[in-house]
Chains A and B, each alone.
Chain A
């Protein structure tokens, strides 16, 4: 005897079953039991207790939010800023010992790269521009990751400038490049 498949049972549950399945279920005790089992599993899933986050994530969200707000306010991308930064680099290089100087130079260089990318982004980064679902999701994800990274950087900035800080900024540059590419690709696609 032919019985309902699991897909048939799902269709019965959704009220979309075939005529055959709807007739069969009225006479077949085995399939009625299967359907009842499915209902019970669903009811049990719905009744599972809520899982709670093990850690408070609000501080991280707040930190990223503040960093994002300050990022928007900053004028990183201006040439004036870049020139001032370049002057600072030169000053630092002249007065710092060699090792620290190298680290600071790396840090300044990567910050400048980040600033240049911020500047590039302004050509494409127009809020409200229509993106495809996939592009919007990609951009949102990259922006999230940058925001999280900015939150970390905001917390670390006052501390000693070390190799780890350079690494974080390098990660930021990598994400910024991806973001610029995503925006630029979309701009080419729509002919902007």
Chain B
């Protein structure tokens, strides 16, 4: 999903002054891109909704700190992705590779109609986050590593493993 949202400076200024209507306008402008981003990263829809809410709480609290350097979406996106990654870290035990594609594992049969979106959803949250941030949002491995508190090589290997899994799942789906 490509986001090219332009927000008038005057709207940002009003939001920075605490104008509730302007804050709501910002929320309306960015709620879908934020939800889409965090929903792609997180497995559970309710977690994504929570992160959406937490993101905008931080946005409205800290909007005065936004200096207009860079696109507002970049600033909001950073808050959202950081919060989603924090949630993944917090639920790390649950988010381990348990649902990843592993041959022979019960419940992991891939139907013949599997598409990329379904295959992507079967990845672990960590893998989903790395793939989405790198391949779709255009983050560098250095940026991802910094946000995740991991090494650059971790980010690279997660991405490679995720692509290998996606390819395997899609191949299995095509052959079934």
Contact = CB atoms under 8 A, between A and B. Distances in A.
A155 to B, nearest CB: 15
Contact of A52 (B24, B35, B131): B35
B56 A61 contact: yes
Size band of the B side of the interface? 35 or more
A37 interface: yes
A188 interface: no
Contacts, number: 106
Contacts of A42: 135-136
B32 A52 contact: yes
Nearest to B146: A133
A38 B136 contact: no
Given A6-B161, A54-B45, A45 B136 contact: yes
B88 interface: no
Interface of B: 1-2, 20, 23-24, 27-28, 31-33, 35-36, 39-40, 45, 48-49, 52-54, 56-58, 60-61, 82-83, 86, 116-117, 120, 131-132, 135-136, 149, 156-157, 159-161, 163-164, 166-167, 170
Given A10-B160, A34-B167, 5 more contacts: A38-B163, A42-B136, A53-B52, A141-B54, A143-B61
